[in-house]
Amino acid sequence: MAVSMQAALNAETHRGSWFTVRYMGVIDYEISWQAMKDFTNTRTSQTSDEIWLLQHPAVYTQGIAGKPEHLLADSNINVIKTDRGGQITYHGPGQLIAYLLLDIRRLNLTVRDLVRRMETAVIHMLNEYQIKAYGCVDMPGVYVGAAKIASLGLKLKKSYCYHGIALNVDMDLKPFSRINPCGYAGLAVTQTKDQGVKDELDVLSRKLSEYLQKELVK
């Protein structure tokens, strides 16, 4: 069951020297999206960067330059046009979302740097489980073999960014068959469960948070 944004913001929170990390549960996509915009619009140079770990109920999201033809079949899953980069993807229960609300100038990062470090955090986490994963310059995200296991998209406003990365953990992958994932026809998708990972989403969320923090401040 999805929780309210206020309840999510009051949920388990860890405040470190660099980041505030929030473990937020299941939140409707549009509610979390609006909260990210509100946070970014009201933050200042003194505001701590945040990482939000959460899940969404089933939803397709289409990036700002997304093409409607990448939705291949009708379904009862809503399609939301959002303000991140990239094409269409699917979010649903069992997928780990890490939203990064960052001041990239303060972190001395370019957008390209940030994308590579997000991918590297996932790759290093998967390496713990002896999973050989890699990134691709022309197709941002993280891959295992020929299949995508994590997608990413960002929105930059001045020196601030939001949105982030989605890692498939233990979910129903069928909705991906109704789209060209991230705009690529025939792109296979996979998840940590199918790669032999037995740890559940709460364990992986903490691991991913740790790897992201290490990559962002190195």
Is 151 within any annotated ligand binding site? yes
Is 104 within any annotated ligand binding site? no
Backbone φ, ψ for residue 47 (5° rounding): -75, 135
Is 86 within any annotated ligand binding site? yes
Is 141 within any annotated ligand binding site? no
Is 152 within any annotated ligand binding site? yes
How distant, in Å, are the alpha carbons of 108, 136, 176, 181 from that of 186?
Answer: 37, 17, 10, 8
Query: What is the distance between the alpha carbons of residues 118 and 87, in angstroms, rounded to a whole number?
Result: 18
Is 186 within any annotated ligand binding site? no
Is 92 within any annotated ligand binding site? no
Query: What is the distance between the alpha carbons of residues 211 and 63, in angstroms, rounded to a whole number?
Result: 26
Is 70 within any annotated ligand binding site? no
Residue 182 a catalytic site member: yes
* Structural element, H or E, at residue 37: helix 29-42
Is 56 within any annotated ligand binding site? no
The full DSSP string for 81-126 is E-SSSSSEEEE-TTEEEEEEEEETTTTT--HHHHHHHHHHHHHHHH
* Catalytic residue of the set 59, 96, 142, 182: 182
User: Residue ranges for the binding site?
Assistant: 84-91, 151-153, 164-166
* Known binding residues for substrate: 84-91, 151-153, 164-166
Tell me the catalytic residues: 182
